[in-house]
Amino acid sequence: MLWQALTLQLGYNATLVALGAALLGVSSGVTGTFLFLRKRALVSDAISHATLPGVALAFMVMVALGGEGRNLPGLLVGSALSAWAGLLCVTWLTRHTRLAEDAAIGAVLSVFFGLGVVLLTVIQTMGTGKQAGLEGFLLGSTAGMLQTDALIIAVGGALALACIVLLRRPMTLVAFDPEYAQSRGLPVARIDLAMMGLVMAVTVIGLKIVGLILIVALLIIPAVTGRFWTDRSDRVALLAGLFGGLAGYLGAAISAVAPNLPTGPIIVLASFAFFVVSFILAPGRGVLAELFRYLRFQRRVHIRQGLLALAQGQPIYEPLTLRLLKHAGLARADGVATGKGRAHAAKALRDEKRWEVLRADHAHEAAASHYDGLRDIETVLTPDQIAEIDRRIGPPRQVVQ
């Protein structure tokens, strides 16, 4: 059953939903990357909640004009207009009052959402039976999606992607260094607004599938996931698009398999699954990689300290140090150095003395700045320079037993 869903053999409607969700995932992942890099991820939360009064108002207007209230393009235009109003409110509050952006975001999202709920209750009192389906915009509903709806989503997603491709360089520049972008003569405020406009477009397109409460997840989670794998912004965007698209596709397919599996939440959970895997396994920024780095560092510190202790004839009490030295064949279980251990210890002590000379000498300031107690001196000095330092230290002396 799941295999059929994944290979798009579960009927016309399920195929439409799966393709639409995948397209939505790609465009929201890529758009979200720039939002995330600009450190304004939660602005999307305000934008998405601000769509609700627009949806309700558009419905009322369309009914008042004698039309069908559930016409999707009409509702989407309404939601876009009110999302734009919400966005302008956030921008205005942050720029013209002392309120920080997070307070502005929270205020706009709660007030617009509250107003939307009021309007929804007004619609419920307006006529009977006509309001069915508007609640679907809260959590998304893919049941009964029409081909035109899917087409709107596909075309909208493609347009948003095209705009991103056109704007990617200025948006990257603004995301990383707005002051520099300003000094280069770029209209930073307008680029920010364009970025938010794209976010708004994705939100509006996603209303039908994942709903306004959860669309934020599609903008944030894939971007964060992509960030774990690479430090280059274009690759983060590509990966975010990939993860978002996969999550949308998988989520829609899974939700088509059984009843009671709402599409929006499944898509969000699928993208969270990608996030968790990346969070743990990603090389470089992942938790496991971080843990290994920490253990390696700990090992180096312990061995270094152990060798210095051996060289100076001090007893070692730290069990971890002893174990590491023993494991490396540098010392016996009772803490007495092996032959190899004595050689390494003498080298460690000599290196320590070399570093001491090096750090006292202003001529080697640049090299001395690399000192952290662990680094091998050979990595910062040439053999000639080391020989010169050794000449200053003098020949090896007999260790007094």
Partner 1 sequence: MSGADFVPLSLTPLLIGIFAAIACALPGNFLVLRRQALIGDAISHVVLPGIVVAFLLTGMIAAWPMMLGAAGAALVAVALIEAIRRLGRIEPGAAMGVIFTTMFAGGVLLLEQTDTSSVHLDVEHALYGNLESLIWLDATGWSSLLDPQALAYLPPELPRMAVTLLVVSLFTWLLWRPLKLSTFDEGFARTMGVRTGLLGLALVVMAALAAVAAFDAVGSIIVIAMFICPPAAARLMSNRLEAQICWSIVFATLSAVLGYVIAGYGPLWLGLEDAVSAAGMIATVSGLILGVTAVAGPCRTRSGAPSEG
Contacts of 115 (CB under 8 A, 6+ apart): 52, 53
Question: 228-259 burial string, b = 16+ CB within 10 Å, else e?
Answer: bbbeebeebbbbbbbbbbbbbbbbbbbbbbee
CA distance 163 to 170: 12
Least separation, in Å, of the C-beta of 296 and partner 1? 17
Least separation, in Å, of the C-beta of 174 and partner 1? 16
Contacts of 158 (CB under 8 A, 6+ apart): 23, 27
The residue (of 102 and 378) whose beta carbon lies closer to partner 1 is 102
Least separation, in Å, of the C-beta of 187 and partner 1? 12
**Amino acid found at 79:** S
The residue (of 100 and 387) whose beta carbon lies closer to partner 1 is 100
CB 202 within 8 A of CB 195: no
CB 59 within 8 A of CB 82: no
Least separation, in Å, of the C-beta of 177 and partner 1? 16
Least separation, in Å, of the C-beta of 107 and partner 1? 5
Output DSSP code: residue 367.
H
The residue (of 227 and 354) whose beta carbon lies closer to partner 1 is 227
The residue (of 81 and 282) whose beta carbon lies closer to partner 1 is 282
Q: In a 10 Å sphere around its CB, with 0-12 CB exposed, 13-18 middle and 19+ buried, how is residue 132 labelled?
A: exposed
The residue (of 252 and 381) whose beta carbon lies closer to partner 1 is 252
CA distance 99 to 101: 7
The residue (of 279 and 371) whose beta carbon lies closer to partner 1 is 279
Least separation, in Å, of the C-beta of 160 and partner 1? 19
Least separation, in Å, of the C-beta of 178 and partner 1? 13
Least separation, in Å, of the C-beta of 345 and partner 1? 36
Angle between helices 72-96 and 188-206 (to 10 degrees): 140
Residues that bind partner 1 (CB under 8 A): 36, 39-42, 44-45, 92-93, 95-100, 102-118, 120-122, 124-125, 135, 138-139, 213-214, 216-217, 219-221, 223-224, 227-228, 260-262, 264-266, 268-269, 272, 275, 279, 285, 287, 290
Least separation, in Å, of the C-beta of 243 and partner 1? 12
The residue (of 244 and 341) whose beta carbon lies closer to partner 1 is 244
Nearest residue to 145 via CA among 205, 219, 200, 58: 205
Six-digit token pair at 14?
A: 């399920």
The residue (of 196 and 213) whose beta carbon lies closer to partner 1 is 213
Kindly list the distances between the CA atom of residue 338 and the CA atoms of 299, 302, 381, in Å, as whole numbers in the listed order.
Answer: 19, 17, 29
Q: How many CB atoms lie within 10 A of CB 62?
A: 17
The residue (of 264 and 341) whose beta carbon lies closer to partner 1 is 264
> Could you tell me how many residues make up the chain?
401
Output DSSP code: residue 377.
G
